[in-house]
Amino acid sequence: MTVHVVVPDAVDDPRRPSGGNVYDRRLVAGLAALGHEVREHRVGVVDLGTVLARLPDGAPVLVDGLVASTTSALVEESRRLRVAVLLHMPGSGPAEPAVLRAVAAVVTTSGWARERVLELGVPADRVHVARPGVDPGPLVTGSADGTSLLCVGPLTPAKGYDDLVAALDLVRDLDWTCRCVGALDLAPGYVETLRARAGRIELTGPLSAAELDEVRSASDLVLAPSHRESYGMALAEGLARGLPAIVSEVGGHPEALGSTDDGSLPGLLVPVGDPAALARALRAWLGDARLRARWRAAAAQRRSSLGTWAETAHVVAGVLNRIAPAVVLTGEGRT
């Protein structure tokens, strides 16, 4: 089957890596590996309406939610095309409710996100969950004292970095290091404020996948104090290496953190927007060797239950197979 995938222009921008861009890239590769012919279209310089108008009637089209939510062009085109929206984060744009109700299918990255879509009145049989996969890697054993902390994500208010800085200030009497890895140019004023307060915190900017994997190998604990999160790919990627985590109890974070068969958590969920609670959790981690051992054991078990990118692609391919007509027309689109 030929699948048209519509993504943002900046999907490959190394200066601004994001979970959504990584997901798009891995999904395209996964669909191709399953034998589909994938034709990629970028929206930015060329608008979505123009891209869609060029596609043949009846074609299966997978549209990144960031693109789909900004314009109502998909509402009209969904009558002609077989459209699925890949929704990374609910509430991404003004046209989103109308678009999601109009298209043939919606793919979300978590069960939490699926519930938000159902609240818009989208029929349940049109909404599917394809959680992000992880790459297998060697188990990180960590240091004895657990002092190497890691937070991954663009430095924006939504990621809760101000809460992280405040929490770390509350445990400044303890030994720790913290690296914050992510784009620094999305909210420049916010970042400058963080720099002025950062102290011992290192703001590395974005890193390549290989560089980030090296940082993870030298880390002890993942921190994710986000104010909104559809799933938590950085959290899952840390768990895939056996890294415990302290994360805000928001959106899909509880789903990504998960638990072991006996219900043990590989870390802790703390209230969103509560630096004091985050500081208490950090103080417990840094001061209790037995707690560190329990969390690490749970993280080592949790990594085996995380899905792969091949499984993610298989789920999305199944959705596309269901919505595609038996025969896809190959003529020219509208001009």
Question: For residues 24 and 333, which has the higher predicted lDDT (pLDDT)?
Answer: 24
Domain count, the chain: 2
Asked if the structure places residue 162 within a domain, the reply is yes
The per-residue pLDDT for range 65-103, each reduced to its tens digit, is: 999 998 888 999 999 999 999 999 999 889 999 999 999
pLDDT recorded at residue 16: 73
∠ Cα 19 223 293 (to 5°): 125
Q: Is residue 142 part of a domain?
A: no
Same domain (yes/no): 64, 169: no
**Average pLDDT of the segment spanning 104-129:** 98
User: Does residue 181 fall inside a structural domain?
Assistant: yes
In order of 74, 87, 197, 322, the CA distances from 53 in angstroms are 10, 22, 50, 23
For residues 17 and 106, which has the higher predicted lDDT (pLDDT)?
Answer: 106
Q: Is residue 186 domain-shared with residue 280, that is, in the same domain?
A: yes
Q: How buried is 189 (Cβ within 10 angstroms: 0-12 exposed, 13-18 middle, 19+ buried)?
A: exposed
Kindly report the CATH number assigned to the domain that includes residue 50: 3.40.50.2000
Q: Compute the distance between CA of residue 331 and CA of residue 149 in angstroms, rounded to an integer.
A: 55
In a domain, 335, yes or no: no
Residue 59 in this model has a pLDDT that exceeds 80: yes
Residue 335 pLDDT > 70, yes or no?
A: no
Residues 55, 97, single domain; the answer is yes
- Is residue 157 located within the same domain as residue 128? no
Q: Please give the mean pLDDT across all residues of the chain.
A: 93
pTM here is: 0.92
Q: Are residues 35 and 86 in the same domain?
A: yes
Tens digit of each residue's pLDDT (9 = 90 or more) over 139-151:
998 999 999 999 9
| pLDDT for residue 281 is more than 50 | yes
Q: Alpha-carbon Rg of the chain, whole angstroms? A: 21
* SS3 at position 279: helix
Structural domain boundaries, residue 37: 2-133+308-323
* Residue 174 sits in the same domain as residue 297: yes
pLDDT of 57 strictly over 60: yes
- Please report whether residue 329 resides in a domain: no
Whether residue 277 is found in the same domain as residue 315: no
Write the DSSP string, 227-259: S--SS-HHHHHHHTTT--EEEES-TTHHHHH--
Residues 94, 176 within the same domain: no
Predicted confidence at residue 226, as pLDDT, reads 97
268 has a pLDDT exceeding 70: yes
Domain-embedded: residue 273 = yes
Q: What is the pLDDT of residues 213-258, one digit of tens each?
A: 999 999 999 999 999 999 999 999 999 999 999 999 999 999 999 9
Cα–Cα dist 245/224, whole Å: 8
Better-predicted residue by pLDDT, 11 or 4: 4
Q: Examine the domain organization and report whether 177 and 62 are in the same domain.
A: no
Is residue 167 domain-shared with residue 301, that is, in the same domain?
Answer: yes
- Per-residue confidence band for 165, with pLDDT thresholds at 50, 70 and 90: very high
Q: Do both 68 and 184 map to the same domain?
A: no
Quick: pLDDT tens for 284-331.
Answer: 999 999 999 999 999 999 999 999 999 999 999 999 999 986 434 333
For residue 35, is it within any domain? yes
pLDDT digits (tens, 9 = 90+) for 5-54: 999 988 877 777 788 889 999 999 999 999 999 999 999 878 999 999 99
pLDDT single digits (tens) 177-208: 999 999 999 999 999 999 999 888 999 999 99
Question: In the prediction, which pLDDT does 15 show?
Answer: 74
Question: Is 58 among the domain residues?
Answer: yes
37 and 75 assigned to the same domain? yes
Contact 274, 163 (CB under 8 A): yes
